[in-house]
Structure 1
Amino acid sequence: MFAVPTGENSAVAVDDSDPDAWVISYITFDPLSVEKLSVENLGNVLCATVNVQSQAVWILGDYIQAVSRDLGQGFGVPFPQENVVPFNLQLVGDYFYLCCGKATVWVFDRTVNQWIERLAHGPEPVIPERGPTETAGDYVERTYPIMDRYARENPDAYAAFACGDAHYVIGALGRIVRFRGDEVNELWLDSGARLIHGFEENNQAVICADRPRAEIYKGTFEDGFELLYANDETALHLTAQHKGKRYIGAGQDEKYEGPALFELKGDELVVVETGCAREPVNLIQLVSEGDVLWAIDSAGFFRLKDGGWTLTELSAL
């Protein structure tokens, strides 16, 4: 299951548990109402992104499917080329960003209905053939540096987001790329962390990493990025600021079984107890939207509003 808030009082969930169909739920809270539609199941859902104005949902699984709420059906969207390795699909401004392996990023331009390469990897290295008397070990030792150098120069791209009038792409080895108008800037964080999630907060970019440890940065290209938080527990890489408080969440990590929601007080993590019928487990989303803090796990929606938590279970919809 994947879910994303679309405002203070609404969210969209995609349930991929049925082998024959993806079930998309358009949910409104306070009062609760749900509209569902089913489309072809195209594999496990990696992520989904919503056009809030049109309510269209683009879903990334084994393939991409664009779902129209008005028409009540889905339409296949071909990948930009064969053998792409997609990690994330996100609507950023007017473009759908498809972040892929080898530092490759495509954007779907809806005005012309086609993919445009926004970020390209360098040319593939030429790997010499194995010598007739060369052992497998010697061959690997000789060619590994070539492939390693190429991978480090072209790290995978994992996510895209908007910050002010710029679009950011983040990925492996601490690489951050900013697109603003015709200008392209990039920097590499010294930690070399795997950057997997980002968003705008108070006119600055917040960027989250999950390897080799959890790290959360905040800043700009002009002023640099400050490390706000770090933890050797790699699952604790989600964050949101809400009503002046900094929250930390445990993301999707099958090895982590601890509490999923904390408040960061100084350098200390304090477990948040919602008082609901159950407490959240590993989160899909931790997002502040206006007066509501969303903490969404694979089974339901936790919402903090007016000082109190409520839980809406997916199974009850």
Structure 2
Amino acid sequence: MLDFYNPPKALLASATKEGVELGGVKSILCIDGNHNFYNIGNIFTELSWAEFYKEEGLQDQIDTFTTKEFKSVRDDPGALVNTIVDNLDNIINTRRLFYGIADFEVDAFLNRNCVIPGLKLDYEIINRLMEAHKNTRDKNLFPEISKDERGIKKIKMEFQGNNKKHLHIYGSTLEDISERLRLAKGFATGIVCTSEGAANLYIMSDNIVFKEDEYAEIYIDQDNIDVIDMGIQRELLFPISWFRIDIGIRSLETLELWEEIKDTPKLVKALENYDKYITSLVFKKFKLIASGEQIGRDLEADFYTMTPQERRKALKDMADAIKILTKKYKE
């Protein structure tokens, strides 16, 4: 189970028998060496309170909307650049890694349509999601919020699905994770459900890869969709919101203003600094491996299960990588 610090408000959208919070949040996420997640900046926040009719038979239909919060830098090039630059600096200073950009959309499943592009769900499942969300808000079954010793809010979080390793990246050190995350690209979508007080992110589809020249078709996790449906019917899972997570530094390219801001000198410099930072972590990992020191249980265990031929090739690849990184540092 992971800790998620400063979770986006859409992930904790409140609801009662009288009404629900509706809206969405686009957030910048980072991760530490212990796989804990941090919401360090919001690009867009829009939350409204939707009040239900009080008349008999209309209690699930919305009567009025009241805007509770609206903040956005996604349409302001200067503010967007400042937000990205400040967060990249913060990540480097706190020795964390840029994880990606996350969208959380809460619609209480009232529109009877799946909000995830390219994913089709049966109307029966959508209807069950809507009914289950009613149960969630009636019984106040939202993720339990706690605070750390500094008073920072956090919740427990876990990824679920056949490809959960694409979001819960393996590695026992920051260096391990940085190697995987450095070239990661693609996105995953799904539904956030509460179970035993934690936020479970059930992955319904993804096309995430971890190589620069690799591309993947969108994978639909029908098994996980069936698990969600069964869990809801048995009242073990309680749906909250939809999510989409674009992973890796290239997730910035999904921003609407990316083409307009990508050559901004301030942003270019910040991205160069971050690239040097994450490259240094990968360099450290390969250097320690080449010198025989331990760094990361997962990689070491994998290495010693290889055949002698595979180990020789792995060491050669590491040596080649060190040469490339060394040359990059001298440039």
- TM-score between both structures, scaled by the size of structure 1: 0.22
Greater relative contact order: 1 or 2 (C-alpha under 8 angstroms, separation 6 or more)?
Answer: 2
Structure with the larger strand share: 1
